[in-house]
Chain A
Amino acid sequence: MASANPLEKRLRTSGTLLIVGLLIEAVCLLWAKPITFVVFVAVGGLLIFAGVAFFLFSLVSTPRVHE
C-alpha cells in the first residue's frame, strides 16, 4: 500500500476524505430528519468539498515524477 509517489499519497488522502463524506451522505439520506439534513450538508458536504478540492489541488501542485 505504501507509495513513494507524492501524487498517489495525495490521491489516497483525497479518496479517504471522499469515502467518509460519501458514506455520511448515504447514511443521512436514509432518514428524513432535520438533524440529518444539517449533518448531510455541513459534515458530508464539507468532506466531499475538501476531498474534491484536495484532489484538484494535488493535480496542479504535485511535481511530476520522472522515472
Chain B
Amino acid sequence: MPHATTLIVLLVVFSAALVGVLVARPGVTETRGGKILAFLVLCFLPVLCGAMGVSREMDRSKTTAFCLSCHTMEAWGKSLHIDDPNHIPAAHFQNHRVPPDEACYTCHTDYAMFGTLKVKLDGLRHVYIYYFGTPPAPENIKLYQPFNNRECLHCHLGARSFEEGATHTADPATLPAIKSYTLSCMSSGCHEVVHDIAHLKDAKVWKGSN
C-alpha cells in the first residue's frame, strides 16, 4: 500500500511544520488555546506519527522485496524461481502456497509467542553483520536453529493433501512423528531440497513470474 506510506509521510511532514511554527513563535503557548495546541503538536502528533510509522515499517519489513534488498540475499531470491516442483521454497512461491509478497517472512517467522519480535531481533543482527561485520557467502548462510516443523504445520496441519498424502500415510508412525516434531519435514528422502544455493548456477529458472 504505497498510498498509506504517502499519507503517513505527509502527516509526519505536516507535524514537523506545526512544530516549526511553535519553535519560531513559542509565545503562542501563553494562552490556554496555545497550551492545548502545544500539547497536541509537541506530544500527541509526534507519538501518533511514530506509532503509525513503526506499524508501517513493521509491515514493510515482512515483504519479500525488503528481505531481498540486501545483496547477500540475491541468490536466495533467485532460488524462489527455480523450475523444479521438488524444490520446496520455489514450489511454494510459484504456486502461491505462501503469499508471494511475503514469501520469506511466511516460512521464516516463528509461529510461537513473540515470534515476530524474535525474527525482528534476528533481522537487526543481520543488519549489523551486513554493515559492520563480514557477511558470509550465500552458500554458507545457515539458520540459527534447524527449521521447525511447526512453521510447516502452521498451514499444512489439517489439510487433506497433508493428512491423507500417500507418503505421509504409508507408515502409520509417520504423521504422529511429524506432528510431534520428531521427524523433520526436511528429512532425507522427504522434502529435503530447500533453497539449494550451491547448485543455483545449473538450475533451470521459471520465467513466468513478474
What residues make up the interface of A, taking CB atoms closer than 8 Å to B?
1, 3, 5, 7-8, 11-12, 14-16, 18-19, 21-23, 25-26, 28-30, 32-38, 40-41, 44-45, 48-49, 51-52, 55-56
What residues make up the interface of B, taking CB atoms closer than 8 Å to A?
5, 8-9, 12-13, 15-16, 19-20, 22-24, 26-27, 29, 38, 42-43, 46-47, 49-50, 53-54, 56-57, 60-61, 63, 65-66, 69-70, 123-124, 126-127, 130-131
List the A side residues contacting B49 at CB < 8 Å: 22, 25, 48
State in angstroms the CA–CA spacing of A48 and B151 once bound together.
Answer: 37
Interchain CB contact under 8 A, A40 and B23: no
> Which residue from B23, B43, B56, B124 sits with its C-beta under 8 Å from A38?
B124
- With A34-B66, A34-B127, A52-B43 already in contact, the answer to whether A22 and B12 are too (CB < 8 A) is yes
B105 CB to nearest chain A CB (Å): 13
**Beyond A15-B23, A34-B130, A51-B46, 7 extra complex contacts between A and B, CB < 8 Å:** A19-B19, A25-B49, A32-B60, A34-B61, A37-B127, A40-B54, A55-B38
State in angstroms the CA–CA spacing of A23 and B70 once bound together.
Answer: 25
> Which residue from B20, B56, B127 sits with its C-beta under 8 Å from A29?
B56
Interchain CB contact under 8 A, B15 and A22: yes
Residue from the set B5, B12, B60, B126 with the largest chain A CB neighbour count within 10 Å: B12
List the A side residues contacting B8 at CB < 8 Å: 29
List the A side residues contacting B70 at CB < 8 Å: 34
List the A side residues contacting B22 at CB < 8 Å: 11, 15
> Which residue from A1, A8, A22, A32 sits with its C-beta under 8 Å from B19?
A22
Interchain CB contact under 8 A, A55 and B127: no
List the B side residues contacting A5 at CB < 8 Å: 26
State in angstroms the CA–CA spacing of A11 and B42 once bound together.
Answer: 8
State in angstroms the CA–CA spacing of A5 and B38 once bound together.
Answer: 15
Interchain CB contact under 8 A, A32 and B66: yes
- With A16-B23, A18-B19, A18-B42 already in contact, the answer to whether A41 and B57 are too (CB < 8 A) is yes
A62 CB to nearest chain B CB (Å): 12
Interchain CB contact under 8 A, A29 and B15: no
Interchain CB contact under 8 A, B66 and A33: yes
State in angstroms the CA–CA spacing of A32 and B60 once bound together.
Answer: 7
- With A15-B22, A19-B19 already in contact, the answer to whether A52 and B53 are too (CB < 8 A) is no
Interchain CB contact under 8 A, B46 and A22: yes
List the B side residues contacting A30 at CB < 8 Å: 5, 9
